[in-house]
Amino acid sequence: MNSIVNFIDALGQYNFLQTALITSILVGIMSGLVGSFIILRGMSLMGDAISHAVLPGVAVAYMLGVNLLIGASVFGIVAALLIGFVSTHSKLKNDTAIGIVFSSFFALGFILISMAESTTNLHHILFGNVLAVSDSDLITTVIVGALVVLFVVVFFKELLISSFDETFARSYGLKTQWLHYGLMIVLTLVTVSALQTVGIILIVAMLITPAATAFLWTNKLKFMLVLSAILSVIASVVGLYLSYTFNWASGPSIVLTASIFFIISFIISPKQGFLTSRIAKKGEPNV
Amino acid sequence: MFKIENLSVGYQNTQILDNLSVEFPSGAITGIIGPNGAGKSTMIKGALGLIKRQNGVARVDQRPIESHREQVAYVEQRANLDLTFPINVFDVVLSGSYGRLGLFKEPSKQDKQNALSALEQVNMLNFKERQIGDLSGGQLQRVFVARAIVQAAPIVILDEPFAGIDMKSESEIMSILKTWRAEGKTIIVVHHDLNKVTDYFDHLIILNRGIVAAGPVAEVYTKDNVSKAFSADLGNVLFTDDNDSKQEGVSHE
């Protein structure tokens, strides 16, 4: 209890902690929203791939001294296009194409980063260090967050229908390919923001764990999006507290908090909880 | 009037359809039958540009369909959907208004009213809050027909709407198709067996990697054509007499 008071006290005192808190909240909202569509479209592996594939972009941006977002977005999109290219121009299955492309990009990024920067920085990129977020990073995150929320709100009905029933969406003339690549761009933007809080390796957890948890509680997409964002924000803030108090890396702290929410929901959620469905089955008469 | 001109579709090493042309009259229900792998769904998807085609175009009153998609409502096979998706019956039906709305516009009160009235027409109003995974196959099919009602398109294409559904749903859907016919719409139904061909359809297309026969049912649904497209045995079973009297209730599956 004392440590929570300390944390709140420190929040009032230290600028870096306030920056960390706002960043965590924004990243939570973004990843919760985008992650919902990622899991509903069966693209969890794609989310993992894109988040790893931005690493060389981060390295190149460091080297050239340009904004991380630009480098990361370029490599994220190139990876998405390359995955599409490999799977349509060979008999390989999509997940194989994803595996090949993202591991290659990640390996390349790893080498580029170690050429460009010291190892401490690599550690932060891989596992996140939300306590070291600068004010200019925060401004970027605010802008990206606004863009991501705008994308989801403006294209909500298109995202809904193309995720649920792509054939129908195409039959009435929706350009689902454009939407797909739009979502990939948004995904890379979220990735770069989440890189600061949870790091590249664990970004996929922020995308899928809160969304999957929300999925277990509701049958309404709008409610799922909101719930996913809320869970993601809570996990981020609790993770930040744990990180500050126990000096744990922020990424694993946030991700483990989200995992605990998932485990609880998996057991007790009314929709498809492990426990609830067993009880429901017992209650049914034997047929 | 809906027509397909010079449609060719093939996958890697197999040519499925080669230079196929066919017309669908308005104010009529046209059935498409043919054995498994005949290219029935391929023809529809190729015409609508939902799969890659090598050649050909589908036209609505002379205009290519790509620029007039609002003219066609397409009810695909149910099997291809994720039934765990967090969406309820009402929202599925409401999505029938999305094509007309285009980007950046939300469904209006009128659109929502249309969705409710479509649900009423297929007798599914009581299910409007249900998650789609809770429905039976027949109920789900009625929901997709309700969505086509909301689309209010002059051409409606249904891919195997009666496959694996209950009698009640089948007859409710059939009565909607008849209403559409009375309104002068062009209705196209890919049909999975030979049951009720003469009851359901005004026109018939028999397909087997190309058109075997097309025209009014009475002219097209003959022992010769069925034997040619399916097998001589099936032709003999369905048409016992030489004068083509039909025996109903035999599925070819």
In chain B, where the domains are located = 2-80+156-238
Domain that holds residue A13: 2-283
Fold of B2-80+156-238: Rossmann fold (3.40.50)
Task: Mark yes or no for CB contact B69/A172 under 8 Å.
Answer: yes
Closest residue on chain A to B49 (Cα):
A171
Strands of chain B (E only): list them: 2-11, 14-24, 28-33, 55-60, 63-64, 72-75, 155-159, 186-190, 203-207, 211-216
Q: How many CB pairs under 8 A join A and B?
A: 71
pLDDT value, residue A62: 83
Closest residue on chain B to A168 (Cα):
B74
Q: Is B76 on the interface with A (CB under 8 A)?
A: yes
Interior angle at CA B17, CA B34 and CA B226, nearest 5: 25
A167 contacts on B by Cβ (under 8 Å): 50, 74, 76, 80
Q: Of the candidates B7, B100, B92, B98, which has an alpha carbon nearest to the alpha carbon of residue B54? A: B7
pLDDT tens string A222-271: 999 999 999 999 999 999 999 889 988 888 999 999 999 999 999 888 76
Cα–Cα distance for residue pair B27/B203, rounded to 1 Å: 11
pLDDT tens string B88-132: 999 999 999 998 888 888 999 999 999 999 999 999 999 999 999
Q: Is B106 on the interface with A (CB under 8 A)?
A: yes
Task: Mark yes or no for CB contact A168/B80 under 8 Å.
Answer: no
Task: Mark yes or no for CB contact B87/A164 under 8 Å.
Answer: yes
Work out the minimum CA distance from A181 to partner chain B, whole angstroms: 17
The mean pLDDT value for B57-81 works out to: 87
Query: In angstroms, how far is the first alpha carbon of chain A from the final one?
Result: 52
A219 contacts on B by Cβ (under 8 Å): 86-88, 131
Cα–Cα distance for residue pair A143/A163, rounded to 1 Å: 26
pLDDT tens string A116-149: 765 557 778 888 888 888 888 888 899 999 999 9
What is the helix (H) or strand (E) element at residue B113, kind and residue range?
Answer: helix B109-121
Number of folded domains that form chain A: 1
Confidence (pTM): 0.87
Task: Give me the amino acid identity at B235.
Answer: G
A157 contacts on B by Cβ (under 8 Å): 95, 98, 101, 106-107
**The domain spanning residue A131 has which CATH number?**
1.10.3470.10
Task: Mark yes or no for CB contact B86/A40 under 8 Å.
Answer: yes
